[in-house]
Amino acid sequence: MPSVKLECKSIAELPLPEHLANDSRLVYTTFPVVCLALCKLPEWNFGFLLVTDFTDNDKNAYAAGRLPQRLPESFSLGDIHALEQQKVFPVTVPASKVDLYWSELCKFSPHMKQYNPRDEMKCNFSKEGVICSLNMRVKEYRGELEGWISTLEVCNRESLNKPTFRNWIKNCGFGNFMARYLAHVDERLYNRLLPNFPIDAYLQPGDFLSEKGGYTTSKKRHDDELLTQAPKTRKISAAQVTFQQQFTQKQPVESQRVAIQEPCSSSEDELTQHLQVLTNGPSQRLQWQDFTVNLVSFSTLASFTVHNIPDATAFETTVLLSEILPDINMLFVRPFKRTIKIQPFKLVLKGRDDKVVLAELHSENELNNFFGIEETEEIINKLDKVSTQLTQLKGLQVRIRLIKSFLNLSYGYRKAYWTCQTPLNELLEI
């Protein structure tokens, strides 16, 4: 039977089941996933691997409740990040291959030895954050999607250094996957990953504000929050449109830019400048203007995930600057026999209800603009003054302008972050 490789980079991009039902070929795809559980009980003819890549797909057998009821029902990465049910995708594993794939999963971390795929009480290892490269056949089953495993390889420090893996990373959407993954990493998961996965290439311990706080751009949930959120409306992706064209000869659907919804829950939000409103069904959504400064309340800004904001989009807000990380006396260093160096640092912006946004300064250009200098060496004659000004900033209400920027990291990942466009002198003027 002929086969075809599906060029999609996430579970959300998989074809709709009705399109697969009418195709006689074997359809395969490969992309990065987090493995959540592997379970094979004696009375089952097959095992089931449950995975996620943090994208939605409610057209699958697990979301529809058509798999054995004794499979795990709740998954949490680390200790606090619960997954919605439509983000979980089932992959069927032949009974004869369960031990083989379990051995591969155990290569990710020594912690995996405490789990057991043949015990329904010990088959859920979601809190380990196991990242794998999954190749599977995608098929329709009773009107829903399901996967059939073909190959599985863990992504740990050893495997990611292989040339074959590096080539795969460039073409599989690994950077976008990691951006979604990092939004679920708390400090405990970070520490569990560190010995076995190069999480330090993406995050540093300083990116966590406290023992109780997670990664600063994450949306936190509690362990006991059940998977009760209703599935969202399914959107047609570019890959799905291509697949639909190829096998049904329908015309492609013109893609639409997704606008960001502006919450208006307080009088402060009513002062937000509305620049362009688009109507999408019964609700209205705001599309921020690129290459201009959008005036917003801090509560609105804090509700955004910077990764989802369009590039070159700037915002201005008024907020309390509560802290500078690391400590001020660690910002200016003079390496042996070298000129002075300004260390990257973060401004901790804190609003009502303890909402926090970090304004980060990484590049030489960002740092020089902030301190009002053209060359780093110019800071030498201003150290005392600048240190005093930075001390005065802490605890001050400031008017600050932020813009989305990127930091190029390892394995093809570009970290999106807010950087500060307002110079130090202007921050002190309010």
From CA 419, how far away is CA 140, in angstroms rounded?
45
Report the pLDDT averaged over residues 123-145. 93
Between 339 and 375, the more confident residue is 375
Q: Do the domain assignments include residue 112? A: yes
Q: pLDDT exceeding 70 applies to what percent of the chain? A: 76
Q: Do the domain assignments include residue 254? A: no
Between 119 and 409, the more confident residue is 119
From CA 355, how far away is CA 301, in angstroms rounded?
10
Domain boundary among 242, 258, 275: 242
CATH of the domain at 234: 2.40.50.140
Find tokens 């932020």 and name the residue: 402
**DSSP-derived 3-state class of residue 203:** coil
In this predicted structure, what is the pLDDT of residue 168?
79
The answer to whether residues 155 and 271 belong to one domain is no
**DSSP-derived 3-state class of residue 114:** helix
Give CA angle at 373 (370, 376), nearest 5°.
Answer: 100
The answer to whether residues 226 and 272 belong to one domain is no
Lowest-pLDDT choice from 100-109, 178-187, 190-199, 256-265: 256-265
The answer to whether residues 310 and 395 belong to one domain is yes
> With 90 as the cut, is the pLDDT of residue 251 above it?
no
Cβ–Cβ under 8 Å, residues 102 and 38: yes
The answer to whether residues 93 and 175 belong to one domain is yes
> With 60 as the cut, is the pLDDT of residue 306 above it?
yes
The answer to whether residues 157 and 67 belong to one domain is yes
From CA 381, how far away is CA 378, in angstroms rounded?
6
Report the pLDDT averaged over residues 19-23. 83
From CA 370, how far away is CA 232, in angstroms rounded?
42
In this predicted structure, what is the pLDDT of residue 35?
97
In this predicted structure, what is the pLDDT of residue 427?
94
> Is residue 116 packed enough to be buried (19+ CB in 10 Å), middle (13-18) or exposed (0-12)?
middle
From CA 178, how far away is CA 131, in angstroms rounded?
10
Lowest-pLDDT choice from 71-75, 409-413, 421-425: 409-413
The answer to whether residues 272 and 225 belong to one domain is no
* pLDDT band at residue 219 using 50, 70 and 90 as cut-offs: very low
Torsion of the alpha carbons at 5, 11, 16 and 20, rounded to the nearest 10: 30
**DSSP-derived 3-state class of residue 279:** strand
* pLDDT band at residue 337 using 50, 70 and 90 as cut-offs: low
Q: Do the domain assignments include residue 212? A: yes
Domain count, the chain: 2
CATH of the domain at 374: 2.40.50.810
> With 50 as the cut, is the pLDDT of residue 59 above it?
yes
Cβ–Cβ under 8 Å, residues 398 and 323: no
Torsion of the alpha carbons at 293, 298, 300 and 304, rounded to the nearest 10: 80
**Tell me: the pLDDT tens digits for 140-185?**
888 899 899 999 999 998 888 888 877 777 778 888 898 889 888 8
> With 70 as the cut, is the pLDDT of residue 317 above it?
yes
Mean pLDDT of the chain: 78
The answer to whether residues 300 and 217 belong to one domain is no
From CA 380, how far away is CA 69, in angstroms rounded?
67
The segment with the largest mean pLDDT, out of 49-53, 212-216, 253-257, 373-377, is 49-53
Q: Write the CA distances from 3 to 10, 24, 142, 172, integer angstroms.
A: 20, 9, 21, 19
* pLDDT band at residue 260 using 50, 70 and 90 as cut-offs: very low
Q: Do the domain assignments include residue 252? A: no
> Which residues make Cβ contacts (< 8 Å) with residue 204, sequence separation at least 6?
none
In this predicted structure, what is the pLDDT of residue 108?
96
In this predicted structure, what is the pLDDT of residue 213?
40
**Tell me: the pLDDT tens digits for 262-279?**
333 333 333 333 322 222
Report the pLDDT averaged over residues 47-62. 92
In this predicted structure, what is the pLDDT of residue 287?
54
Q: Do the domain assignments include residue 256? A: no
Q: pLDDT exceeding 90 applies to what percent of the chain? A: 42
Domain boundary among 208, 242, 276: 242
Helix 174-182, helix 163-171: angle, nearest 10 = 80
The answer to whether residues 279 and 159 belong to one domain is no
In this predicted structure, what is the pLDDT of residue 249?
35
> With 50 as the cut, is the pLDDT of residue 236 above it?
no
Beta strand pairing status for 3-5 and 26-39? parallel
From CA 349, how far away is CA 167, in angstroms rounded?
39
The answer to whether residues 308 and 234 belong to one domain is no
Report the pLDDT averaged over residues 45-68. 91
From CA 162, how far away is CA 171, in angstroms rounded?
15
Cβ–Cβ under 8 Å, residues 378 and 342: no
> With 80 as the cut, is the pLDDT of residue 378 above it?
yes
Give CA angle at 349 (399, 263), nearest 5°.
Answer: 80
Give me the phi and psi of 231, to 5 degrees please: -60, 140
Domain range enclosing 419: 267-427
The answer to whether residues 51 and 183 belong to one domain is yes
* pLDDT band at residue 338 using 50, 70 and 90 as cut-offs: low
> With 50 as the cut, is the pLDDT of residue 430 above it?
yes
Quickly count: other Cβ atoms within 10 Å of residue 189's Cβ: 23
The answer to whether residues 277 and 351 belong to one domain is yes
> With 90 as the cut, is the pLDDT of residue 366 above it?
yes
Q: Do the domain assignments include residue 362? A: yes
Total residue count of the chain as it appears in this document: 430
Q: Do the domain assignments include residue 250? A: no
CA 358 to chain centre: 16
Quickly count: other Cβ atoms within 10 Å of residue 16's Cβ: 16
Lowest-pLDDT choice from 42-56, 289-303, 304-318: 289-303
Find residue 90's DSSP bridge partners. 50
Find tokens 């813009």 and name the residue: 403
Q: Do the domain assignments include residue 316? A: yes
Domain boundary among 200, 226, 242: 242
In this predicted structure, what is the pLDDT of residue 256?
29
The answer to whether residues 238 and 276 belong to one domain is no
